[in-house]
Amino acid sequence: MNEILTGFRTVLSGEYPQLLLSGLGLTLAVSGCALLVSVLVGTALGAARVLRVPVLGALGNAYVTVVRGIPLIVLLSVVYYGLPALGVTLEGFPAAVLALGLYSAAYTSEIVRGGMSSVPAGQAEAARSLGLSRGQALRFVVLPQAWRVALPALGNEFISLILGSSLASAVTLQELFSQGRYITNATYRQFEVYAVLALVYFLLTFVLSRLVRGLEARLSRGVTLPERRVI
């Protein structure tokens, strides 16, 4: 026991806490940027699938099917190591953001599709009768209501992105897990280092999950979700 306590003191002394904080900041940064990519791409895909836009709807379905069948580590490797063969070279941070964002977009597309499907068809019809175009009805009437339904699930997706960002060390990004491995190599304290990493990830996701639950409870008060599709 004394040996383990000594190991924890070693890991949490000197420059190591600063390295962990630096890695945590980078983890949050890459996860936040990836979430932005995910929301933009996922919203476009989800809308195209629900509205059955010619060609785009079919491509969206194909994209979701393919990406959800590929491990994240493989997509990260394709973006970072494979794209240079096509003349496109990305540094670790943009490569991780792109891969994580595109991977998450497949799941965000399902979230957006579910949110849009919960909006009564009469909402879009009423908007069209008031003179709004189909695009305007989608932008100003359907999507705001869909996002209210989708926000809690999107919060959970952000938590998944944070956990998935630990794989970004495979593309040389010095995020939290990568810094932990560096400390392990420097101190030879595997158990203590990974125990600290597990605690940090747990506390981070626990706080976020509590915030998501609070948001979900707040948004669900007095809200009834009819199961009708928006066409």
Instruction: Check residue 114 and give its pLDDT.
Output: 85
In the chain, the percentage of residues whose pLDDT exceeds 70 is: 94
pLDDT digits (tens, 9 = 90+) for 146-176: 878 888 888 889 999 999 999 998 898 999 9
Instruction: Check residue 53 and give its pLDDT.
Output: 77
Separation between Cα atoms, residue 137 and residue 134, nearest integer Å: 5
Instruction: Check residue 98 and give its pLDDT.
Output: 96
User: Can you say how many angstroms the Cα of residue 35 is from the centroid of all Cα atoms in its chain?
Assistant: 5
Confidence bin at 132 (pLDDT 50/70/90): confident
Instruction: Check residue 221 and give its pLDDT.
Output: 67
pLDDT digits (tens, 9 = 90+) for 39-52: 999 999 988 888 77
Length of the chain: 231
Instruction: Check residue 227 and give its pLDDT.
Output: 40
Confidence bin at 225 (pLDDT 50/70/90): very low
The DSSP code for 132 is: -
Domains assigned to the chain: 2-220 (1.10.3720.10)
**What residues contact residue 9 under an 8 Å CB cut-off, 6+ apart?**
none
pLDDT digits (tens, 9 = 90+) for 69-84: 999 999 999 999 999 9
Q: Which residue has the higher pLDDT, 8 or 225?
A: 8
Taken in order 30, 177, 162, 206, the sign of the CA dihedral is: negative
The DSSP code for 142 is: I
How high does pLDDT run on average in the chain?
86
**Residues 185-206, mean pLDDT to the nearest whole number:** 93
* AA identity, residue 119: V
**What residues contact residue 124 under an 8 Å CB cut-off, 6+ apart?**
137, 138, 141, 142, 230, 231
Separation between Cα atoms, residue 41 and residue 36, nearest integer Å: 9
* AA identity, residue 146: A
> If DSSP codes are grouped into helix, strand and coil, which group holds residue 201?
helix
pLDDT digits (tens, 9 = 90+) for 171-183: 989 999 999 999 9
The tokens describing 157, both together, are: 């997706």
